[in-house]
Amino acid sequence: MTAEGTPPADDGPLFCYRHPDRETLIRCGRCERPICTQCAVQGPVGFRCPECGRPLRDPLASFTPAQLAGGLAVSFGGGLLAAYISGQFGFFALFVAFFAGGLIAEAVTRVTGYKHGQTMAGVVYGGIIVGAVVAFWFANSGLIDAFLRLGAAAGSGGGGQGLGGVLAQQAFWAAIGAAFLVAGARTRVR
């Protein structure tokens, strides 16, 4: 109301600040900018523009420190256990690793409170890969120590495969097993 008691004069039609060709009657409840119905975000007390209506943090993609630590522990432990166990099955380890990867991802999802996003993928895949590397190290620590002591030339004589060849073959199958673990986990991570 103005001083004379009459309503203020309307300055004409409003146009969305993001889409200048669209006429609108809606304003943001916080910043008062005109917004069209496509840009309007429904809030608890009215419409907001996309900038004012965006939450400060996404509750489905942000982690508390306890959730992050729990997810990393489950992912690392699952990757360690699955890689160690699947290493005992030979070629069939690929099938075991694929299904184990899905189970690990599901366990991490439950521990973290059903989170998703890039951080969740990093927690699952990173924990599985680090766990698989540690499992390979523990399973082949005797071979690795002997290989390091004897040097790379130790396996070149004798007509057999040699220590370096055996270690390379074990590393190849460990990498394939870790890839199948991650592939299995990828079926469950959003």
pLDDT tens column, 81-105: 998 888 777 788 888 899 999 999 9
Cα–Cα distance measured from residue 25 to residue 151, given in angstroms and rounded to the nearest whole number: 79
In sequence order, the 6+-apart residues with CB closer than 8 A to the CB of 111 are 67, 70, 71, 74
Is the pLDDT at 154 greater than 70? The verdict is no
Q: Is the pLDDT of residue 147 over 80?
A: no
- Every domain of the chain and the residues it spans: 14-51, 65-186
Can you give the pLDDT at residue 143?
Answer: 66
d(CA 14, CA 37) in angstroms, rounded, equals 13
Q: What is the DSSP letter of 28?
A: -
Q: What gap in Å lies between CA 184 and CA 166, rounded to an integer?
A: 27
Q: Find the Cα–Cα–Cα–Cα dihedral 182, 187, 189, 190, rounded to 10°.
A: 140
- What's the token pair of residue 108? 């991490």
pLDDT band for 148, please (50, 70, 90 cuts).
low
Instruction: Decide if 101 contacts 178 (C-beta within 8 A).
Output: no
- Block residue for tokens 């299995």: 184
Could you tell me the two tokens for 119?
């951080």
Here the tokens at position 4 are 């004379």
Q: Looking at residue 138, what is its pLDDT?
A: 84
* Residue range 24-50: mean pLDDT, rounded: 89
